[in-house]
Structure 1
């Protein structure tokens, strides 16, 4: 049985056992017997002196081993004193925690802040800081076009680390992204790690909510690269949580969405797309369809979101690719 529990390393224990076997052995004899340099034996002897297992009769020259029974009593007394000290510290810590729990009923003014970040690199840094500090739940809305594979690879370690900490992670994606093979594989990978994923036909804007206390959303939903807002205002965040839960309730589970496939374009969708690609002004297009200008523009916006397009030209290209035109 080793004596590590008493604070002895392997060499110190070997030196002590050798001294008990031959109390008259000097430093050179001990070094020769153990096959180690004399400098290492000297360091081991110093540790043994500190532990009161060896007495130093002549500084640096003569060492005498202490009877194991006497030494053990002394060491056990030291260990017991240390345990008593630690027990007292733990009791004090428990009392302090109990006091904090009792004080949770007191009214605490929550942090209120809306911070704008315009620098894109800083936006990424802040988002990762929020991810690292999240400890309970993250709500995530990811609209728009499919995310490039290199960005998915860069994001994956941070998302997986979140899940490994036991954080509940719910994400909403669009059917446009579902049709992209790298994104579909990413969704499946995240789900294997414990993420919950649902698919919606359309999503309003980028949104991330951390522990239902901090929200992260774009300054301009139509131009998400123009900066972000970090919101620590409880009332705003509570409303954004309600928005997320509403979107979540109306979305499909990933497997259900894959089975259902992408929704086909309606006759109205095709008519709007034809007018968009022909270059007709919105007012004239609305008159041709017999609807108001506002309703026509709403249909255009909805189609662009569903196609994951950032421009009308891109919407036309994507519509042709999907067979809508």
Structure 2
């Protein structure tokens, strides 16, 4: 037979390629044959053809007195042969770890001394990295999560991710407060989502206009978008920034309407609804239809329908005249904060 450098013959090595596994995962047949060899002192070479791994891993070796037989390597010796290189590698890695720690120790101390506020801002690029950071922050949250979620057609997958993230929080006793725009009241998906979580620990309110998306965990970390497509976010851990964002949230929360109290779009005595008051205010400020729709969480068609109703109520024949009539009508002087 042709011997190879690995200690087995050519036939054995060919068979082992079709019988692959690590020595730590010794196959059932190999275990049985090795145990038999230890009990009897040897095993026929022909008997181990179904388990070439035994020769490959040097658990069996040729009998010097009879080439048709194989003798077992003592388990303690076989184990030592496998452990020695591993222990050597562990020792070497420990040595390198100590060496690296010694090299970086002065820089770590310098970093602490010269830390700036920029260290508290992390840029997260890509949905996967953003979700990973959010999942970590919420998993560590112990008391309260504050969120502002602008209305929009969030995909089913996004709502499912939110449910998977929020449900464990509530189960741990964490309080959740979420702000939506009023238009969320007409979204079956949003209503179904909030219904599944509204059990005392989750509160939902709506307001006519909100700032961009915001998530705050335990007054320690906040997440805000850094790009319109929601693919870049900022993770903020500076205490001053987080406190400021909490104040913004509380300012809006105090002026918002609980989702459970019914629709806030009741028609006032002048025939103009609350949402139309909000649209009128933005029109006078010079915003175009698309910007108004985005800020109020509605589609452009709905926004233009409300503008047309305003124009009809005020007797306007043009967009420019509508702005003038809104300013002259005094409707913006009414309390529209809710």
TM-score scaled to structure 1, two decimals? 0.51
Equivalent-residue separation in structure 1 for 2:308 and 2:137 (angstroms): 40
Aligned to 1:319: 303
Structure 1 residues 208 and 110 mapped into 2: Cα distance closer, same or farther (>3 Å)?
Answer: farther
Aligned to 1:40: none
Equivalent-residue separation in structure 1 for 2:263 and 2:234 (angstroms): 36
Structure 1 residues 217 and 189 mapped into 2: Cα distance closer, same or farther (>3 Å)?
Answer: same
| The one of 279, 287, 300 aligned to 1:297 | 287
User: 5+ residue gaps in structure 2?
Assistant: 1-114, 267-272, 310-338
User: 5+ residue gaps in structure 1?
Assistant: 1-108, 274-290, 310-314
Aligned to 1:162: 169
| The one of 262, 266, 273 aligned to 2:276 | 266
Aligned to 2:3: none
- 1:169-205 Cα deviation digits (max 9, x unpaired): 1111111222111111111221136301111111111
SS in 2 for 1:296: coil
Contact 2:293 2:303 in 1 (8 A): no
Contact 1:169 1:196 in 2 (8 A): yes
Contact 2:213 2:224 in 1 (8 A): yes
Contact 1:214 1:230 in 2 (8 A): yes
Aligned to 1:7: none
Tell me which moved more, 139-148 or 238-247. Answer: 139-148
Aligned to 1:234: 239
Aligned to 2:160: 153
Higher relative contact order (CA 8 A, sep 6+): 1
Contact 2:194 2:204 in 1 (8 A): yes
SS in 2 for 1:199: strand
Aligned to 2:120: 113
| The one of 135, 143, 168 aligned to 1:128 | 135
Structure 1 residues 113 and 186 mapped into 2: Cα distance closer, same or farther (>3 Å)?
Answer: same
Shift of 1:162: 0.5
Contact 1:163 1:193 in 2 (8 A): no
Q: Does 1:171 pair with 2:178? A: yes
Aligned to 2:204: 197
Equivalent-residue separation in structure 2 for 1:185 and 1:214 (angstroms): 28
Contact 1:176 1:308 in 2 (8 A): yes
